Homo-oligomer: A and B are copies of this chain.
Amino acid sequence: MAELDITKVARQSGVAPSALRFYEEKGLIASIGRRGLRRQFDSSVLERLALIALGRAAGFSLEEIALMFAPDGRPRIDRQMLADRADQLDRTIRKLSAMREGLRHAAVCPAPSHMECPKFRRILRAAAGGALGARSRRAPDGMRMQTHR
């Protein structure tokens, strides 16, 4: 395994150096040493970062992800937790699919105002019942994709 400095890791992983330092501080990754001041990483860190990205994309927090790594550094992923998260993801996907259909309809709906469209109102009720009604359960943070910044 080759050694990479933080800049190379950043370039190859797409993770900002500041984020890499942050991850190290949180124990999510570990540098293998220093060359002078500079952190050196084993190239396996790239795989680790991919795993972290996977976890984040699946909705785990960094803290939860940290718990998935055993002290020896190898992944120690709780299979039940994975199954639970898969189910949760499944529910989310269903909700988003409904949402997508709603948006798609609203985009082409001939009603002068969306509020006058029965289908839109139905979706609205579903959203009110689904996104909010689930009793103290927050709506997903959403799928913000860095539109403008």
- A residues near B (Cβ < 8 Å) are 13-15, 47, 49-51, 53-54, 56-61, 74-75, 77, 79-80, 82-83, 85-86, 88-90, 92-93, 95-97, 99-100, 102-104, 106-108, 113-115, 123-125, 127-128, 130-133, 135-146
Between A83, A124, A128, A130, the greatest number of chain B beta carbons within 10 A of the residue's beta carbon is seen for A128
Interchain nearest-CB distance for A69 vs B (Å): 11
A88 and B145 contact, Cβ closer than 8 Å, known pairs A80-B107, A113-B74: yes
With a CB–CB cut-off of 8 A, which chain B residues contact A106?
77, 79, 82
From A103, which residue of chain B is reached at the shortest CB distance? Answer: B86
| Candidates B92, B125, B143; contact of A50 at CB < 8 Å | B125
